[in-house]
Amino acid sequence: MATKSMLETSPTYELSSSLKDTSVDPELQRLLEKTWSERHDAGVGFRYQLNIERERVADGRFGFLILLNRQRLTERRQPYAFLLDAPFDASRFNFTRIDPAEIQVELLCPLPVTVLINNSPVTVYHSLVVPDRQGSHSQLLTPEGIRVPFELLLRLPDRRYRIGYNSPGAQASVNHLHLHLLRIDTDLYVQRTELVAIRGIPHLYRLPDDVPALGYCFVVREPTRELERVCSELQKLIDTLLDRKMAHNLFWTWTHLHEGVEIRAFVFPRSQQCVNKVACSFNAAFLELCGFVSVGEVADYERLTEDTIMQALRDAQGDVYGALGDLYPTETAGPGRDQLQNGL
């Protein structure tokens, strides 16, 4: 078994900076899974051994997956309060202060990106992706932070990997730029839901009014041709939300887990900020908005329904389309609607 001293030297791994060759990289996935498993199995860095005690799918149209993980509620690092405009504060916890054994790998792509274990994991291989860890960035997405999730999903052979982000005021718990990489073994409603086209902005769609969460989605089908444009438009949308002081959650996923058809990058704005992620059983963050609900109390696990989850998500987001409808008009029903083959 690996010891802490053996794990304190993290490997480096260089990713190609070119998307001309978008073939997958099995060695990258092997390295990420190996370094995570070594630390988890040795009990190094983790606050607990991942143990999903129970799981079920809520009755209803959207198939919310509900899991019981009591240790995440009781053992995780306590979050602290900050809002969108909070600057990076070196006196508070940040990812330059972590134990070196928590570092899985340093990626060179070409900006340095550090992959850390999430020491309070929700799923297997739950890691933190920290662009430019020594750069002291607050938890606001940079251009590199927007692009890295696409780069990783394109290279990981296993399509079950997803990446998520919580902004300040939208359940982020550490004010140091980071995203979450995790493997989710089941389909989520956002992968198959119908999308409504936005006029004048290629690749941008809106979620329909009758799904659990409100927001926008960028679709990438041909990365070599489309990724630069999508990243630029995604940055503009984030800048708009910041100008309007709207917190936001993001989620990157493949639509199909067995074949790479397209990547969807979701943006879930919030009309009002919450101060921080309270250490409670249920929080409306990027996972919950997408249909994956991890709770820390048996009572919540047993009583949550599709209706109660949807109401909590709508309460957290508020009137998103009312706040942004002037900027993103949709196409009319019919030809302007993009109905996936396996849609709801």
- 170 touches 269 (CB < 8 A): no
Domain assignment present for residue 240? The answer is yes
> Which residue segment(s) compose the domain that 305 sits in?
26-317
Domain assignment present for residue 326? The answer is no
Q: Quote the CA–CA distance of 31 and 152 in Å, as a whole number.
A: 13
Report the sign of the C-alpha dihedral through residues 196, 198, 204, 209, in that order: negative
State the Cα torsion 29-38-147-202 to the nearest 10°. 60
- pLDDT, residue 3, reads 67
What are the φ and ψ backbone dihedral angles of 286, each rounded to 5 degrees? Answer: -60, -40
- 164 touches 179 (CB < 8 A): yes
Q: Quote the CA–CA distance of 289 and 304 in Å, as a whole number.
A: 15
Domain assignment present for residue 18? The answer is no
Domain assignment present for residue 201? The answer is yes
- pLDDT, residue 21, reads 54
Domain assignment present for residue 17? The answer is no
Domain assignment present for residue 105? The answer is yes
**Angle of helix 143-155 relative to helix 223-243, nearest 10 degrees?**
140
HSE of 129 in the Cβ direction (CA atoms, 13 Å)? Answer: 28
Q: In this structure, what CATH number is given to the domain that contains residue 295?
A: 3.30.428.70
- 47 touches 40 (CB < 8 A): no
Domain assignment present for residue 278? The answer is yes
- pLDDT, residue 148, reads 95
Domain assignment present for residue 8? The answer is no
- pLDDT, residue 73, reads 80
- Please list the pLDDT of the chain residue by residue as tens digits (344 residues): 666 665 667 899 988 665 555 578 999 999 999 999 999 999 999 999 999 999 999 999 999 999 999 988 877 777 788 999 999 999 999 999 999 999 999 998 778 999 999 999 999 999 999 999 999 999 999 999 999 999 999 999 999 999 999 999 999 999 999 999 999 999 999 999 999 999 889 899 999 999 999 999 999 999 999 999 999 999 999 999 999 999 999 999 999 877 768 999 999 999 988 865 554 567 899 999 999 999 999 999 999 999 999 999 999 999 999 999 888 877 644 333 444 444 44
Extended strands (E) in 190-321: 195-197, 204-206, 216-220, 248-254, 263-269, 292-295
CA distances to 96, 148, 215 from 184, in Å: 28, 19, 21
Q: Quote the CA–CA distance of 228 and 145 in Å, as a whole number.
A: 14
Within 10 angstroms of residue 289's Cβ, the number of other Cβ atoms is: 29
Say how many domains are in the chain: 1
